[in-house]
Amino acid sequence: VKVETEDKFEWIGGSSIGGGTFWGLGALLTKTKKFDELLQLASKGQHTNVDMLVRDIYGGAYQTLGLSGNLIASSFGKSATVDKDFSKEDMAKSLLHMISNDIGQLACLHAKLHNLDKIYFGGFFIRGHPVTMRTITYSINFFSKGEVQALFLRHEGYLGAIGAFLKGAEQDNPN
């Protein structure tokens, strides 16, 4: 939602890929049904065991395009070519990076399209989790080349209730 004033705001886009996708795919991959447990697994994992990096393809950085060797070229890419079982932690971390990078790239594209330099994040995926805030911040910095700032709401779990309260108060007292 792009907000200009209290009365001027518009929905500018979004994606079905987010916290629910992380939770659902994470449950399928790890058999972990609780969101916080999935994030705990991700915080202990090493995504480079599962993700194919630029260095895995080119032996290092791809200088012509300015791509670091540590950049993810394909989320879960090693699972197609490496014959081994991956740990739940590593798969959860790979999934976290995949979702965060998608969120970050899409948010940056919308920010650039609308000349915005700040993006505020809230919701169940964020919910004060340092690991999700770190990965989204990294993604925003990468895709915006440092021109867009990722900011995270505190107590965002109450936003819906506050909005409903304010809407009810507005209807009770239209002046």
List the CATH number of the domain containing 143: 3.30.420.40
Is 78 domain-assigned?
Answer: no
Is 8 domain-assigned?
Answer: yes
Is 59 domain-assigned?
Answer: no
Is 71 domain-assigned?
Answer: no
The domain in which residue 164 lies consists of 2-50+86-172
Is 113 domain-assigned?
Answer: yes
Strand (E) positions, 30-82?
Answer: 52-53, 72-74
More confident residue, 10 or 39: 39
**Is a pLDDT exceeding 90 seen at residue 159?**
no
Phi, psi angle pair for 138, to nearest 5°: -60, -45
Considering the chain, what percentage of its residues have pLDDT values greater than 90?
71
Mean pLDDT of 60-89: 94
What does R_g of the chain's alpha carbons equal in angstroms?
19
Cβ burial of 99 (10 Å; 0-12, 13-18, 19+) is: buried
Is 68 domain-assigned?
Answer: no
**Is a pLDDT exceeding 70 seen at residue 175?**
no
More confident residue, 90 or 129: 90
User: Which residues are registered as beta bridge partners of 95?
Assistant: none
For residues 117 and 3, what is the distance between their CA atoms, to the nearest angstrom? 13
The total number of structural domains that make up the chain: 1
| Mean pLDDT score across all residues of the chain | 92
Residue 22 pLDDT class (50, 70, 90 cuts): very high
Mean pLDDT of 151-160: 80
For residues 76 and 109, what is the distance between their CA atoms, to the nearest angstrom? 24
User: Which stretch of 29-33, 86-90, 128-132, 160-164 has the lowest confidence by average pLDDT?
Assistant: 160-164
**Cβ proximity of 61 and 69 under 8 Å:** yes
Report pLDDT digits (tens) over 97-151. 999 999 999 999 999 999 999 999 988 888 888 999 999 999 999 999 999 999 9
Is 72 domain-assigned?
Answer: no
Residue 156 pLDDT class (50, 70, 90 cuts): confident
